[in-house]
Structure 1
Amino acid sequence: MGSARKKMAGLVSTKFLPRMNPVICRRQRCLSQLDETQNNTVAASIPQLPPFDYSPSPYSGPSADEILAKRKQYLSPSVSHLYKTPVNIVEGKRQYLYDDKGRRYLDAFGGIATVCCGHCHPDVVEAIVNQTRRLQHSTVLYLNHAVADFAEALASKLPGDLKVVFFTNSGTEANELAILMARLYTGCHDVISPRNSYHGNAAGTMAATAQSIWKFNVVQSGVHHAVNPDPYRGVFGSDGEKYARDVQDMIDFGTSGNVGAFISEAIQGVGGVIELAPGYLPAVYNSIKKAGGLCIADEVQAGFARTGSHFWGFEAHGVVPDIVTMAKGIGNGIPLGAVVTTPEIAEVLVRRNYFNTFGGNPVCTAAGLAVLRVIEKEKLQQNASSVGSYLKHRLSALKNKYELIGDVRGRGLILGVELVTDSELKTPAKAETLQVLDQMKDIGVLVGKGGYFANVFRITPPLCFTRQDADFLVDAMDLALSRI
């Protein structure tokens, strides 16, 4: 980077502000020392947020520094934050978030693939408020139509005999229950999951998770981790059937020949938005069935229309699982998860008492039903498909422009951009990822990061994302990359 370029970078790197922002005058004053030509050049180079007819309420709460001090004093040290200077988010509307100063950001992370309808969607808010006014909580031991109505609607979205629903509070709980049910039903303890997967942080799910950065050194038994069918970094490229042979080898040489379950995401979210190689799931499901096991589809991140092409991620692979787990997008931010399975498999839970105090809470299930209706009414699956395809095309064009981008992947509105310092060796560009992440925040775009090496941008915005939003995101990433 030349000296003039560095000088300009230093002047504007933390002052990227969109039009119509009440604090834009501060940026103009900061740049007032530049001559008019320089000022115009800088302003023209900064992408601008799409117009949005909404004004956030004035904020009178504690400052970011005060909140950060309280977090350090009272919250677990395991609770971290993004960015060198954390952003204080106080309001959200559709695909946008607002900080304590009224500045608008494009939310391209969606609360980690959780906000699907958009922040504070009026239909979802109305369902939550109305239910809360009538009955906030009782227990599923009493009758209430909210939980039954949502279970019926949810079951209608799944294929085959997947008709029995058990509600939980999170994806970890859902996966934990699914593994328990599979082991009880089959009488086998052995579970297989792909390497690089993430399924939660409880006892059984931590065992099924296959990244050391998410695993503590505690007893984790009965799980075997197969070679990951990663088309970008995997040893067999995009040949899914070759990866599937490793699962069969594990059954033959690492178990008694019988297994309890195979659990897998269709797209590995935490692992860096890895799409499983084509042909992998059908071949693996076949091997698992022959070994007497059940197939569990973890749809916590890819479910609820996010892939665009299908409502569930597993559908793109032409398979029908025995158990499906879900959370995140199911409630648009409300703590809610679910396990859906067949009537026969569901019967295993009546062997003993199994109960979840808040699973099926009327407020949460009312919100879930509203989410399903919004997805259908606003055609959010179709939007995820069209806007996601457009966004992926534009990101792929950036890949051709910058050698730092090693891979662009995913489908619909669950996309990943992996940064590497060497395209041949695929050396993770961790430091550069952090730098681009921070600069994109300064411009006005919030994205996530993931992957084992923390060098992948995770793009999982609300499904109401527009083409104009996609352009702003790519233009912001383009500018940030040009400054590396």
Structure 2
Amino acid sequence: MNPFIGPEGILEKRSQYFYPCTSYFYRNPPQLVRGDMQYLYGHDGKRYTDFFAGVSVVASGHCNPEIAERTAEQLRTLQHTCTIYLTQPNVDLAERLAEVLPGDLRRTFFVNSGSEANEGALLLARLHTGRRGFIALEQGLHGRTYLTMSVTGLQMWRTDPQLAVPGAEDVTFIPRPYAQGMSADDAAGRSIDALKAVLEERGGEIAAMIAEPIQGNAGIIVPPDWYFPEVKALLEQYGVLLISDEIQTGFGRTGRMFAMDRWGVTPDIISMAKALGSGVPVAAFASTDAIAASFNRPSASTFGGNPVSSVTALAVLDYIEAHRLPERAERLGGQLRAGLEDLAARYPRVLSEVRGAGLMLGAELSAGAPELGARLVDDVLEAMKDRGFIIGKNGVGRNVLAFQPPLVITEQDIAEMLAALGQVFEEADRAAASWTQEGAGDGNRA
């Protein structure tokens, strides 16, 4: 007898007990019951190769035995105290992070989620500068708390209708360094010009600029190499801090330990989560001695830096180092990107653009007709799931396929996925030829 209630049973319980805001992928979703490194298994035993990693979370693999054993041992030894008591795992983790963080970032405050990490980073910037204002990029995503939602430019995640209108009060949005129909340098130049204008007008009121080095949910947007070095130089002229939101990009995902390392930029504050715990909730924001010194009023996080999450994160860092995951991401990302670009050349009506870095790649479908592209994405996700491959989706128009697999993925996994994707694109190309933009719609719910 199958002990699982199956997808229908789960959907029924969700409809009764979840908030209606909770969505899901797929028209016919599987019930996932087990994970093993780069693989997931459904209740019916079907195996799926995971190319999304829970949105960049399980970078070290699902249920990685080298990590899970250390987590389990700590669970059996000491599960919880708080930072008001002395335990060794969190100070060992803070010391280890200081060894891998950019530049002279060495002070760490532990929390539980990316939203909390960004909230803390924004608070720290205000405390240090004595200023209230923030600059953020259009279409960025930084969290679900009130302040992080306020600096989020991606409209679908600005959930609270009472949020201040963008540009009003404390948050000023500037164009991101990307725009369809513009070259990368021109779009980045437009963003820099907007930043200069804001700084010249009210730089003395701005505490920090917060930015994802590579915008994730907004479609895997990578700026030109010169962009963030110029941003940092401009901010320094006005005493404005740079907060690098490395929630999705951190810990090897982009081919470097942190994405800002790609451009030789050391932010003033960095936020991290997701891959640091590889499935166990752990997050943090880190800064320099001088900036951290401004956060001197009593504060704590009940679960932040607890023994289990700290030991897990230490095990993750050990695994990243031992298996050279950043270098692996760079190498395998090259294979994946080359395969996607080949598909773009073969099916230009379907696949419009490939972008990203390392194993954080996006494939935009039908950019000229985003609604059609969104329908195509849903159909491709469904077809790939049926073939045993889990892929994500994102983008402002929800028309971007997101490839953010566990960094333990193999060359063979990538080759098999690309072969299946080629078959699906061939079918999608035939379907796209008969669709009109007016007929696009429906699709998956998430």
> TM-score, length-normalised on structure 2?
0.91
User: Is contact 1:89–1:97 with CA below 8 Å preserved after alignment?
Assistant: yes
Shift of 1:258: 4.0
One-letter code of the match for 1:268?
Q
One-letter code of the match for 2:290?
E
- What is the DSSP-based 3-state SS (H/G/I as helix, E as strand, rest coil) of the residue aligned with 1:275? coil
- Residue by residue over 1:301-339, the C-alpha shift from the partner in whole angstroms, topping out at 9 and shown as x without a partner, is 01101111x110011122110001000000001111010
> TM-score, length-normalised on structure 1?
0.84
User: Is contact 2:134–2:171 with CA below 8 Å preserved after alignment?
Assistant: yes
Shift of 1:364: 0.4
Q: Within 5 Å, which residues of 2 pair with 1:63-142? A: 63-142=6-85
Distance 2:391 2:414 in 1: 12
Distance 1:227 1:266 in 2: 14
Q: Which residue of 1 aligns with 2:380?
A: 436
One-letter code of the match for 1:466?
T
Q: Within 5 Å, which residues of 2 pair with 1:128-167? A: 128-167=71-110
User: Is contact 1:137–1:363 with CA below 8 Å preserved after alignment?
Assistant: yes
Cα 1:236–1:82 change in 2 (3 A) is same
Shift of 1:277: 2.6
Provide the identity percentage. 38
Shift of 1:241: 3.9
User: Is contact 2:82–2:301 with CA below 8 Å preserved after alignment?
Assistant: no
Q: 2:144 aligns with which of 174, 181, 201?
A: 201
Distance 1:258 1:281 in 2: 21
Q: Within 5 Å, which residues of 2 pair with 1:30-429? A: 60-215=3-158, 216-220=160-164, 221-230=169-178, 233=180, 235-239=182-186, 240-253=188-201, 255=202, 257-308=204-255, 310-350=256-296, 352-403=297-348, 404-420=350-366, 422=368, 429=373
Distance 1:76 1:277 in 2: 40
What is the aligned length?
A: 421
User: Is contact 2:66–2:315 with CA below 8 Å preserved after alignment?
Assistant: yes
Q: CA RMSD in A?
A: 1.5
User: Is contact 1:117–1:371 with CA below 8 Å preserved after alignment?
Assistant: yes
Distance 2:223 2:118 in 1: 19
Distance 1:431 1:181 in 2: 42
User: Is contact 1:304–1:312 with CA below 8 Å preserved after alignment?
Assistant: yes
In structure 1, list runs of 5 or more residues that go unmatched: 1-57
- What is the DSSP-based 3-state SS (H/G/I as helix, E as strand, rest coil) of the residue aligned with 2:293? helix
- What is the DSSP-based 3-state SS (H/G/I as helix, E as strand, rest coil) of the residue aligned with 2:224? coil
- What is the DSSP-based 3-state SS (H/G/I as helix, E as strand, rest coil) of the residue aligned with 1:348? coil
Distance 1:93 1:327 in 2: 21
Distance 1:194 1:462 in 2: 28
Cα 1:153–1:256 change in 2 (3 A) is closer
User: Is contact 2:177–2:189 with CA below 8 Å preserved after alignment?
Assistant: no
In structure 2, list runs of 5 or more residues that go unmatched: 429-446
Distance 1:201 1:337 in 2: 15
Shift of 1:219: 3.3
One-letter code of the match for 2:293?
E
One-letter code of the match for 1:432?
L
User: Is contact 1:305–1:312 with CA below 8 Å preserved after alignment?
Assistant: yes
- Residue by residue over 1:25-47, the C-alpha shift from the partner in whole angstroms, topping out at 9 and shown as x without a partner, is xxxxxxxxxxxxxxxxxxxxxxx
One-letter code of the match for 1:145?
Q
- What is the DSSP-based 3-state SS (H/G/I as helix, E as strand, rest coil) of the residue aligned with 1:91? strand
Distance 1:451 1:172 in 2: 20
Shift of 1:235: 4.1
Distance 2:132 2:29 in 1: 43
User: Is contact 1:428–1:453 with CA below 8 Å preserved after alignment?
Assistant: no
User: Is contact 2:253–2:359 with CA below 8 Å preserved after alignment?
Assistant: yes
One-letter code of the match for 1:408?
V
Distance 1:256 1:377 in 2: 44
